[in-house]
A = this chain, B = another copy of it.
Amino acid sequence: MATAVSPLAVALPDLPPLAGVRLSSAAAGIRYQGRTDVVMMEVAPGSTVAGVFTSNKCPGAPIDWCRAALAGGRARMVVVNAGNANVFTGKAGRDACAATADAAAQLARCEPQQVFVASTGVIGEVLPHQKLVAALPGLHADLRADSWEAAARGIMTTDTFPKASTRLAQIGGAPVRITGIAKGSGMIAPDMATMLCFVFTDAKIPAEALQAMLAAGVEGSFNCTTVDSDTSTSDTVLLVATGQAQHPEIPAAAEARATMLADFAGALNDVLLDLALQVIRDGEGAQKLVRIDVTGAASDPSAKRIALAVANSPLVKTAIAGEDANWGRIVMAVGKAGEPADRDALSVGVGGVWMARNGAVIPGYDEAPVVAHMKGREVGIAIDIGLGQGKATVWTCDLTHGYIDINGSYRS
């Protein structure tokens, strides 16, 4: 689909090589023509791996495969295809995963359980995995340490720009790098945002420590974003540590480990949030990035549920598309969340200006900065529930004609 690049797009950062990771991409013609659609990411022997997957009860076959493979805690290869999600494909779907992993494992000289597969695209069509398998030898021969951008492009579906993020961190005074790529644009809702995300580090970190940091990082990033409330069947975030960097060994004791990994965990969270916000910036039809801060709720989880009710409200999202600071619809969405809320204690602000306080509009509040704010690309909504100390921040985008165009056309 020829769609203009999102007006919220950000430029791809420089992505230097990361020790122990090589990547390649190719055009296997699985669905798209004239573009790359399969990506191989090979990591050094001994790499550890963590993963977080969709909460959807009807997940794709690759999710089942990865969950089982994750039990080993080791990865050598990740193989991704775009255009066909291999979801609701029954035995054919399971066979496709196994055949892909077997073929990739032969090339990497590893067990199939060290190959992770991910698929994104249309649901319910059998994946022609013969095409995928046939592309693997060429992909393997093409593996290079500097192919990050091509990999980020090769996993795109309705995405209008490639997404990547990289940070330096230190472990015990030694530098390590974290680099991730992601794709996602629609079918984006928490648990998780509909997307694929592959993050790599050259640090040497045990799988269980990776898993704990990844789960916490996803909760504060992808699970705080929504485009359309629709939870994909294919959401996957993998975090792979190649162990190629030279740094002091991670201690086994929990407290000492946490101290040594504190900077790393912070940088990981940065990478995950950066990628999650890039996905929202590429939300189908998005014209505005919206940040919703809820304070004063009964608890943090309550604040998050309220914030997501606002973020998922079609009436709030269309109002933002119309550049209308319609705080009445925000009040409606707060109320529909079903969380503790007292209408007469509620305050709503937009762009740093409180418009309503304690259950009624503020007479004579200054509309001019609000109007100007609504015309911008980034909209901030503040909601104070006035009951307690709970707070949360979520991000979404507006709901526009572009979303209907993209999703109302035949079998996008």
Contacts and interface: CB of A to CB of B under 8 A. Distances in A.
Interface stretch (A143-151, A159-167, A171-179, A400-408): A400-408
How many monomers of this protein are in the complex?
2
Interface residues of A, number: 70
A360 to B, nearest CB: 3
Contact of A335 (B59, B313, B337): B59
Interface string A248-283: 000000000000000000000000000000000000
Nearest to A194: B332
B337 A57 contact: yes
B407 A331 contact: no
B404 A321 contact: yes
A358 interface: yes
A326 B411 contact: yes
A41 interface: no
A141 to B, nearest CB: 34
Interface of A: 55-59, 85, 87-93, 122-126, 186-187, 189, 228-233, 312-315, 318-319, 321-324, 326-329, 331-341, 343-344, 346, 356, 358-361, 399-401, 403-404, 407-411
22 contacts: A57-B334, A57-B341, A58-B341, A58-B346, A88-B346, A90-B359, A90-B360, A92-B360, A124-B327, A124-B331, A189-B336, A229-B314, A231-B332, A231-B335, A318-B407, A318-B408, A321-B408, A322-B407, A324-B410, A401-B401, A401-B404, A401-B408
